Homo-oligomer: A and B are copies of this chain.
Amino acid sequence: MAQKTQIPKGTRDFSQSEMLKRNYLFDTIKRVFEKYCYLPIETPAMENLTTLLGKYGAEGDKLLFKILNSGNFLKQVNTEDIDEKNLNALALKISEKGLRYDLTVPFARYVSQNRNDINFPFKRYQIQTVWRADRPQRGRYREFFQCDVDVIGSNSLLNEIELIQIADEIFANLKIGCIIKLNNRKILSGIAEHIGESEKIIDITIAIDKIEKIGLDKVISELSEKGISETSIEKLIPILKLSGTNSERIIQLKNILKNSEIGNQGIIEVEQILTLIQSFSMNSEVVLDLTLARGLNYYTGAIFEIVATDMNIGSICGGGRYDDLTSIFGLPNVSGVGISFGADRIFDVLNQLELYPKYLEKNIKLMIVNFGDEVLLNSLQLLEKLRKENIKAELYPDSIKVKKQLNYANKRNVEYIAMLGQDEIANNLISLKNMKTGDQHKVNFEDLLNILQK
């Protein structure tokens, strides 16, 4: 009996036309990464759960896809495990591997595991799928791609600058207008110090990170709820409201944070980055955004976020500097900085704004109509000659009605149709039809090649 055929919720098939578009996106990203001398690595889809658990918070642990042990997975299980309904403990008894949740933890594991073979500073990129058992919804998938680019083992701010340039060049190549937002975790620490709430730095950054989404008022309520005093909040508001150019805000901020060593250090870093960036011809504006915090706790220096200007879709790229990512795997004091491109959101922007180059549609140059066995050898010889010239060409495999063959070619976006009947063969010519214009005329092989190679 025939089965119902469905893919799991939250996952996607990619059709040929989608793949052409996705490959365009990934190839554009890779080309820029490699021009800046970042090279790829890949890690396995599965990691040991000991590697993954505890790295993404309790919520993240729940979203890990766990893989049932093969063989007798009940080996360590007894009936009490079931009665107690202690799912987490039981899950670990019957599964020891999970699917990767992001590329950051596998990268940290990779660096730690291969520390003796790695040539630091290590400039790597990684484009792979990740899996999260999130509730599927529009634009949120259980299997999706991440594109990460990082350099690890160098404290130099030149790395931050290079990553900004990479993002700028990628979005320029993709024709996506965007703003690059910059902040520094040290400035956020300085602000926490200044308002007298140093120990609440995490709560403060989490709250102000939401300012664009929920607005200043709700951020203030959240800060109150977290126990930040009214005096502190009053001291914070003018900082969040600072206005003017980057330089103007930096001057004001320097004055406000003059007594915070860490705050000043952050300001100096931001200033250096913004100054050096000015010497490059950038496509996007780089803006100091003091409300940019990014939720992740492992950032210690610069933080970035890139938003598209022509579509309201949130952040399409983000990252920052982390000073201690690999220490959890036994390799302390290795500073790194990286950014991650949100491939699925960028894909949405490209689709929505129709930013694909025209050539993507034209993937197949020529189809030879199949007129049956009598002219088959001639057709195959023509095909072979064209393929020797690297022309993407094919012969329709069956000698069915010409109309059906043309219909197939049309749906397939074939650019040209070649017809090779007895007449054409006798005169050493080929009837060539341009499928877009409908133009049709007879050409010899040399002309054909010229047209197809144009």
A residues touching B (Cβ–Cβ < 8 Å)? 2-8, 11-16, 19-20, 23, 34-37, 39-48, 50-51, 62-63, 65-68, 70, 72-74, 77-79, 82-83, 85, 87, 90-91, 94-97, 99, 109-110, 112-114, 117, 119-121, 123-124, 129, 131, 133, 142-143, 151, 154-156, 158-159, 162, 276, 279-281, 327-331, 363-364, 367, 376-377, 380-381, 384, 387, 390-395, 397-398, 408, 411-412
Contacts and interface: CB of A to CB of B under 8 A. Distances in A.
Contact of A23 (B3, B40, B112, B158): B40
Contact of A68 (B95, B327, B392): B95
Contacts of A46: 8, 11, 65, 131, 142-143
A395 B276 CA distance: 14
Contacts of A20: 39
B5 A330 contact: yes
A3 B51 contact: yes
A211 to B, nearest CB: 32
Nearest to A67: B65
Contacts of A123: 394
B74 A85 contact: yes
Contacts of A329: 2-3, 5
A68 B70 contact: no
A330 B3 CA distance: 6
B68 A91 contact: yes
A47 B154 CA distance: 42
B72 A62 contact: no
A13 B44 contact: yes
A207 B398 CA distance: 35
Contacts of A151: 397
Contacts of A91: 68, 73
Contacts of A364: 37
Contacts of A363: 34, 39
B114 A15 contact: yes
Contacts of A67: 65-68, 99
B45 A113 contact: no
Contact of A36 (B97, B133, B387): B387
B34 A392 contact: yes
A412 to B, nearest CB: 6
Which 5 A-B pairs rank lowest in CB-CB distance, beginning with the nearest? A2-B330, A11-B44, A70-B133, A156-B397, A16-B39
A11 B47 CA distance: 9
Most B CB contacts (10 A, CB to CB) among A78, A119, A328, A391 go to A119
B36 A13 contact: no
Given A46-B143, A119-B408, A13 B114 contact: yes
B2 A328 contact: yes
A253 B209 CA distance: 77
A328 B3 contact: yes
A107 B112 CA distance: 38
Given A36-B387, A121-B397, A44 B7 contact: yes
Nearest to A7: B44
A101 to B, nearest CB: 12
A162 B398 CA distance: 13
